[in-house]
């Protein structure tokens, strides 16, 4: 009789079956459409970036001047141009205009240009050195993680094991709401207040620098790391904690040496999520880092990130130019970094940590 139940339900309630089929089809169609859109976005970005290396057509330079531009500011008045600075005095040889031949600008190959140390896309010879952008992105990301990750993990430990349940139910949603705080507001706060405090504290020349930008990014990533880490700590079986306390360990020793290692794969994933957010953040980097592509490892010098460069220059670049393709190339590098980070974490680091701390 039990094998005939589905058939009887279908025969007795055909409308219910149609609704289930429609809902299942809708879910599958939505998922397939989302995946297709993401793939099309990746294809578009890679296609625009690949034109930099594989296109045979001459690139449109952003500094190309029109042939119809006037060669003289006022040709009719050329005869009236004074030839001497002081007509009443003696004629000086120095007053004569001497035509000095300008040296030919040095032309670099594409790879030499990409791996140079200068980013000047609007100069007479455009320079697209990405090394200052790599250094600037790495500086701000490292500062953000060093400031935000310990704070978020300790806060998650405190909320999970040392705070009463009623307080945890209020504090945790409040911190999670900060993860949705608009990044432009955090950038504005850093621009107006944090930069002034940093300059006065360290007595430095620049208000906007890598440290100020790193603090702003740390404000943005801390709620994310806290939320994921707290969830990972909460899922550790309470039998671990009870066994540790029964053996005479204190609450802090239990939390730090038993519960945290058991939840380490989840905590590590939270930190990586914060790295990805800091690496790709745009508005805070634009408003707080000084936005200057300097090849400097100092944390008090202005810097510029990949995401900030794309956000600042994509709106003004000439479509199809070499500058346009290089901005898409920066987007590809951003994607490859994030993808590689997640792949290494899932395929190697996470499993290794689980074997070490959980014996699995």
Which residues lie across from 160 on neighbouring strands? none
128 SS3 class: strand
* CA distances, 41 to each of 19, 86, 285, 325 (Å): 33, 66, 24, 15
How much is the pLDDT for 257?
87
- Percent of the chain clearing pLDDT 70 (strictly above): 77
**177 pLDDT tier (thresholds 50, 70, 90):** confident
Asked whether the predicted pLDDT for residue 29 surpasses 50, the reply is yes
How much is the pLDDT for 197?
92
Distance CA 85, CA 87 (A): 6
**Which phi and psi (to 5°) does residue 239 adopt?**
-65, -30
> 337: which 2 tokens?
């970094």
Distance CA 41, CA 49 (A): 12
Asked whether the predicted pLDDT for residue 68 surpasses 50, the reply is no
**Which phi and psi (to 5°) does residue 128 adopt?**
-125, 45
**101 pLDDT tier (thresholds 50, 70, 90):** low
Q: Regarding beta strands 119-120 and 127-128, do their DSSP bridges make them parallel or antiparallel, or are they unpaired?
A: antiparallel
How much is the pLDDT for 357?
58
How much is the pLDDT for 106?
64
């Amino acid at each position: 009789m039990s094998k005939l139940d589905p058939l009887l339900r279908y025969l007795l309630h055909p409308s219910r079956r149609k609704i289930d089929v429609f809902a299942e089809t809708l879910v599958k169609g939505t998922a397939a459409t989302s995946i297709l859109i993401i793939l099309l976005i990746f294809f578009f970005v890679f296609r625009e970036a690949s034109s930099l290396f594989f296109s045979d057509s001459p690139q449109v330079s952003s500094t190309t001047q029109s042939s119809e531009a006037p060669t003289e500011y006022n040709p009719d008045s050329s005869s009236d141009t004074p030839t001497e600075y002081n007509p009443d005095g003696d004629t000086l040889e120095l007053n004569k205009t001497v035509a000095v031949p300008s040296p030919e600008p040095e032309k670099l190959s594409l790879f030499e240009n990409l791996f140079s140390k200068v980013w000047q896309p609007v100069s007479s010879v455009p320079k697209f050195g990405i090394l200052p952008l790599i250094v600037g992105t790495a500086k701000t990301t490292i500062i953000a993680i060093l400031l935000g990750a310990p704070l978020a993990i300790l806060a998650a430990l405190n909320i999970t094991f040392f705070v009463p349940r009623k307080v945890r139910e209020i504090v945790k949603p409040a911190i999670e709401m900060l993860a949705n705080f608009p990044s432009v507001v955090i950038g504005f706060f850093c621009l107006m207040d944090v930069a002034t405090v940093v300059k006065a504290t360290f007595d430095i020349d620049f208000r906007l620098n890598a440290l100020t930008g790193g603090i702003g990014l740390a404000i943005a990533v801390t709620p994310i790391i806290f939320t994921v880490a707290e969830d990972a700590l909460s899922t550790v079986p309470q039998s671990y904690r009870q066994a540790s306390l029964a053996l005479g360990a204190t609450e802090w020793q239990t939390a730090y040496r038993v519960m945290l290692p058991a939840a380490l794969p989840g905590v590590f994933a939270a930190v990586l999520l914060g790295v990805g957010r800091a690496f790709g953040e745009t508005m805070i980097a634009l408003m707080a880092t000084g936005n200057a592509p300097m090849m400097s490892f100092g944390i008090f010098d202005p810097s510029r990130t990949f995401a900030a460069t794309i956000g600042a220059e994509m709106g003004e670049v000439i479509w199809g130019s070499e500058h346009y393709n290089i901005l898409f190339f920066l987007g590809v590098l951003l994607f490859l970094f994030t993808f590689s980070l997640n792949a290494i974490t899932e395929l190697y680091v996470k499993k290794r940590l689980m074997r070490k701390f959980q014996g699995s």
